Amino acid sequence: MASHESAHGAGPEKTYWYHGDKAAIQRRLRRIEGQIRGLQRMVEDDEYCIDILTQVSASTKGLQAVALNLLEGHLAHCVAEAQVQGDAAEAEAKVKEATDAVARLLRT
């Protein structure tokens, strides 16, 4: 996590992974949280399985949008910083780490 430290620095004002859109990500996450609670109500009320599956797909799509937003900021800041600083091993490690994260997203 040392690399996180170096990338994110001392305080919240130093976070790099969002282009001022931390608020947008939080709004998305709250909407997804509401969808998950909605799913619990649908299950409780024995709603039609296909309608529940459609809502599951919508929640998953919301999570993917969050992931892409985070990934874009991460590439633009944490990875870029490592590359600009010229430490080839660190830059390569950052790229590998980001690609592994994409692999986990693809497998889910």
Q: Would you tell me which residues interact with a second copy (CB under 8 A)? A: 1, 3-4, 7-8, 12, 15, 17, 22, 25-26, 29-30, 32-33, 36-37, 39-40, 43-44, 46-54, 56-57, 59-61, 63-64, 66-68, 70-76, 78-80, 83-84, 91-92, 95-99, 101-108
Please state, in angstroms and as integers, the Cα–Cα distance from residue 55 to each residue in 36, 40, 51, 67, following that order: 9, 11, 6, 19
For a second copy, the closer of residues 20 and 40 by Cβ is 40
Token digits of residue 66: 């969050």
For a second copy, the closer of residues 20 and 71 by Cβ is 71
For a second copy, the closer of residues 20 and 108 by Cβ is 108
Separation between Cα atoms, residue 71 and residue 67, nearest integer Å: 6
Look-up: residue for tokens 């994260």?
101
Closest distance to a second copy from the beta carbon of 84 (Å): 6
Q: Are 67 and 97 in contact (CB under 8 A)?
A: no
Closest distance to a second copy from the beta carbon of 86 (Å): 8
Structural Rg of the chain based on CA atoms: 18
Closest by alpha carbon to 77, among 14, 23, 1?
14
Closest distance to a second copy from the beta carbon of 20 (Å): 13
